[in-house]
Amino acid sequence: MGALATSDYIVFLVYFILVSSYGIWVYRRKQSKQASSADFFLAEGQLTWWAIGASLIASNISAEQFIGMSGNGFRLGLAISAYEWLAAVSLIVVAVFFMPIYLKNRIFTMPQFLKTRYNETVALIMAIFWLFLYVFVNLTSILYLGTIAINNLTGGGHFHLIMIGLAVFSLIITLGGMKVIGYTDVIQVVVLIVGGLVTSYIALTVVSEKFGMGKDALAGFNQLFKSAPGHFDMIFDKPGAGASQQQINHYASLPGLAMLAAGMWVANLNYWGCNQYITQRALGADLPTARKGILFAAFLKLMMPLLVVLPGIAAYVLHQNGELQQQMLTNGEFREDNAYSAVLGFLPTGLRGLSMAALTAAIVASLAGKANSISTIFTLDIYKKYINTGSTEKKMVWTGRVVVFIALLIAIVVNWEDALGIGGKGGFEFIQKYTGYISPAIFPVFLLGFFWKKTTSKAAIAGIVGGVLLAVLFDKFLPGIAGNETFLYTAYPTGNGSFEIPFLIQMGWVFFFTTLLIVGVSLLDKKGREHVHALEVDARMYKVSPGILAMIVLVLGIILALYIRFW
């Protein structure tokens, strides 16, 4: 792919000026309130439902989707969309059941919830866990994958310069606080959706032309079905005797019905309901506004596979028919994560600039949101409590800004020579797998904390520590100890001489055993049960309005129809 034309850079420059100018306007409009830490970290009471929904999606849809999930679309097909469509269901659960608890108890951060429900020790342990996860898995991988994509799009050779540019752009947005992030995310979402739809349309017309049907996107879509029918299967069958390594690898990534029974739900509900990075957008709103915003995000989530998976499938069909041979290579090595940037090469001059703006919008929004969450957790749950308990509001805001700068600097240093090896893995799976070390340990602590009053602080600590140890056991050691075939799991060959349990199966079992551990310790901890910190709960807060109910039914109906069609 060649470098962008002048007109492409003009389009991108217009986008940059538009977002930056709007962010400055939002910041200055209520500059007098910026000294408030609640405003900086949460934009308390200032985000509308559509800004909340747009910010949720802008922060979620990043390089891991555009690059990583498109790469999985190339390799696995539509089945990877399960993450997106089941996320919409998870958002319904969060809106109806989780958000009322947070807002009723004035929860601003996830460690604060753990302190309110359990104690300071649980909150501190998890604050440290989250900071390491957000900095060394999420922030670094988003920055690395985004840099790779834009570097490919611009012709290569500018990796480090682009990385610094992305970090600086996101730093500018983040320093304005959550209000600036939330409202600039509205522009980011519009840009990434328009750019994503244009890219998908062009990819389908290229497929149509390749097979002699002219520029007809619908014909191109139908051709994908004919050329790669297996790429439209939503559920993979369990590999039997004689299965190819490719079939095994596909199942290991998305283990059929088993993932729907456990791991996928753990991943999604923990991400959307117990994750500072996501919940932060709605924690400053009232319940009706928060619910509308979250359900708006659920609607947007339904269309994401059209933007990020379909181009990957199109790239697969084109590659199988002799196209994109060089574009799928990085330093002479085939990389599935090149699928999206390879497809962008078909865009005409000008539209490449729009697509680069869409990619940049997704990357910057996610970097800004993640950096703000890192800043929020460190400042409110560590700095304010343990380092400077008498800190002023102004000092907390400036501390938060310094933390943003340090977090992005760490991400640049770690990625300078790809110290984590993100480039050697599928980016999307890299994030899912290593987040999966923490998710099944955290989620039971939240879930039982929400809905089982007997859960004790000692049980929560046992669950967090025990859950992480169980995740390591299942991932690294269990096949060697118990064998590759047990009543709990099947470990599959990885192709390099080792065996591995599919990580979504691992997550399901770790969640199950961690839940049992927490329940068991709680029942034995009689003294702890006498000092449980009860949450304020009112059964009426779970009721939804007719309008909210209609939105829920519509989302569930669309998902059901999609699964019936592509099962």
Which residue matches tokens 């007997």? 454
Q: Is 24 exposed, middle or buried (0-12, 13-18, 19+ CB in 10 A)?
A: middle
Is 108 inside a domain boundary? yes
Clarify whether residues 413 and 461 are in a common domain: no
Residue 316 shares a structural domain with residue 445: no
Q: What percent of the chain has pLDDT over 70?
A: 93
Q: Are 71 and 210 in contact (CB under 8 A)?
A: no
In a shared domain, residues 254 and 375 = yes
Instruction: Provide the mean pLDDT of the chain.
Output: 86
Query: Does the residue 431 lie in any domain?
Result: no
Specify whether 90 is located in the same domain as 233: yes
Say yes or no to pLDDT of 158 above 50.
yes
At residue 329, the 3 state secondary structure works out as strand
Q: Is the pLDDT of residue 192 over 80?
A: no
Residues 6 or more apart in contact with residue 476 via CB below 8 angstroms: none
Could you tell me which residue, 42 or 29, shows the higher pLDDT? 29
DSSP H or E stretch at residue 333: strand 333-334
Residue 127 lies in a domain: yes
- Compute the distance between CA of residue 513 and CA of residue 444 in angstroms, rounded to an integer: 10
Q: What is the mean pLDDT of residues 178-199?
A: 76
**55 and 185 Cβ atoms separated by less than 8 Å:** yes
> What CATH number has the domain bearing residue 349?
1.20.1730.10
Helices 82-93, 263-273: axis angle to 10 degrees equals: 60
pLDDT digits (tens, 9 = 90+) for 374-432: 998 899 889 988 898 888 888 888 898 899 999 999 999 998 887 777 765 555 667 77
Distance CA 18, CA 291 (A): 29
Instruction: Assess if residue 426 is contained within a domain.
Output: no
d(CA 107, CA 499): 43
Judge whether residue 153 has pLDDT over 80: no
Q: Return the percent helix, strand and coil in the chain, to nearest 5.
A: 75, 0, 25
**Considering the domain boundaries, does residue 523 fall inside one?**
yes
> Which distant-in-sequence residues (6+ apart) come within 8 Å of 60 by Cβ?
278, 297, 301, 366
Structure token pair of residue 519: 């329940």
Q: Looking at residues 119-132, what average pLDDT do you find?
A: 89
Q: Which range, of 154-158, 249-253, 382-386, 445-449, averages the lowest pLDDT?
A: 154-158
Q: Over range 323-343, report the average pLDDT.
A: 84
**CA distances in angstroms from 450 to 97, 149, 278, 282, 485, listed in the order given:** 9, 40, 18, 18, 36
Q: ∠ CA(403), CA(273), CA(548), 5° rounding?
A: 125
User: Are 528 and 386 in a shared domain?
Assistant: no
SS3 assignment for 71-89: HHHHHCCHHHHHHHHHHHH
- pTM equals 0.85
Residue 461 is assigned to a structural domain of this protein: yes
Asked whether residue 360 falls in the same domain as residue 238, the answer is: yes
Residues 358 and 304 in one domain: yes
Instruction: Say if residue 318 is in the same domain as residue 380.
Output: yes
- Return all residues near 536 (Cβ < 8 A) that are at least 6 apart: 104, 105
Beta bridge partners of 499: 493
The domain tally of the chain equals 2
The larger pLDDT score, comparing residue 446 to residue 6, is at 446
* Residue 13 resides in a domain: yes
Do residues 347 and 456 share a domain?
no
Same domain, 404 and 521: no
555 has pLDDT over 90: yes
Question: What tokens were used for 432?
Answer: 């899912």
Specify whether 198 is located in the same domain as 287.
yes
- Domain identity same for 360 and 444: no
Q: Domain span at residue 469?
A: 436-536
pLDDT digits (tens, 9 = 90+) for 256-269: 888 888 788 998 99
- Could you please report the per-residue DSSP string of 346-402? TSPTTHHHHHHHHHHHHHHHHHHHHHHHHHHHHIIIIIIIII-TT--HHHHHHHHHH
Q: Does 1 reside within a domain?
A: no
pLDDT band at 33 (very low <50, low <70, confident <90, very high): very low
